[in-house]
Chains A and B, each alone.
Chain A
Amino acid sequence: MERAIRDEAADVHALEPEAFLEEVHSFEFWFHSVQGYLAGQTFGHRPDVHGAPLAPSEREHLVTVLCNYCVGETAALEGASGLVAIAPNRLTKIFLATQVADEGRHLEVLLHRLGELGVAAPEAEIERRASRSLLHFKRRLLELVQSRDWEAAIFAQNVILEAMEFTVFQSHARTADLVTREVLQGIVKDERRHIGFGENELGRRLQASPHIRARIGEVKKELDHWVLESFEETLREIGVPNEERPELGRNYLEVVARLGFA
């Protein structure tokens, strides 16, 4: 009898909605989640995994791509840490604190990978190779955070930026060298939480306050161009064929359609 009760309690789908939200936004949940796929890793990959040497042109493309991933992750790190202060309640503050930890880890493992590829001064290299459109997006995201516009900033960061990263990293992991693949696969697992948080938080806000829809629509209109340009640049660098690119863009289009911005 006691076993049956315990099993029933462990059925995730039997949780009340409030209990579910409390659980998945917690640091406790985050800690036991990341432990599952990061334990035993060193800088995002198993220590005994080594990539085959890259041809000079492959290395050149990879360094450019990783530099731009660092720009995106820095934007998310600065954005998420700024959002903690304006988050409307305890659950969102705690979740964003876990996201800050994730983004800091992403930046660190990507910088470390650049070091493994022989980049002596990663910060300078990032400045030299950063995409103009991604830098513009980062600047606008941080302006939205500074203006304390919770919904617009969550849309820019956890819907637009994270959806793009989720798609690009998954695609890149399929063709990357072994070390880069493991680093990206670990990041993608974190990104699931970030995209889900963004879509669900914004979805709830739009339901409760439909008048914010027009403002978010304006933000989308402004930022779409910069994000899609940066998306295209990255897909070109990682060698995704032209015919596969619309399929990859579909993920973002599906998210905005679910939120009513088709």
Chain B
Amino acid sequence: MKEICFNLNFELRHLMVEPNEILLDVLRDKLGVKSPKCGCERGDCGACTVLLDGKAVRSCLILAVEADKRDIITVEGISQEKLSTLQNAFIEYNSFQCGYCAPGIILAVTELLEKNPHPNLAEIKECIAGHLCRCTGYTSIFDAIMAVSKGEK
């Protein structure tokens, strides 16, 4: 066991972890943050994405100890005051169905928009290339992000 601490959704958390525990399990089982989902446990699906120091990473491929003294943001973190423009666009464009992939995609695109507020479609596709959605066929997701990119939202 090792003691680590990190900023999770703007709150400093101290906890003991095993050296082989993955960040996804620690967030979900020890810290009660449930929006990162487990879909494959091997980095294929993107459902477990979190922002680590502002960068979208797969929490199933990150050991909890690697997150020591860093900043972690999940969808719970960006929904605290009100929904972001991107989240509202997702609702307006029905960019989700079962909802399981939505938190991961929202975080990946949040990072993209931070760096590049007006991405084109190719950049958007590149950004979410590592995120699987089995329901929508992606079009409604692209539409929502394009609307934000064009400042329509």
The answer to whether A and B assemble together is no
Residues of B within 8 A of A (CB): none
Residues of A within 8 A of B (CB): none
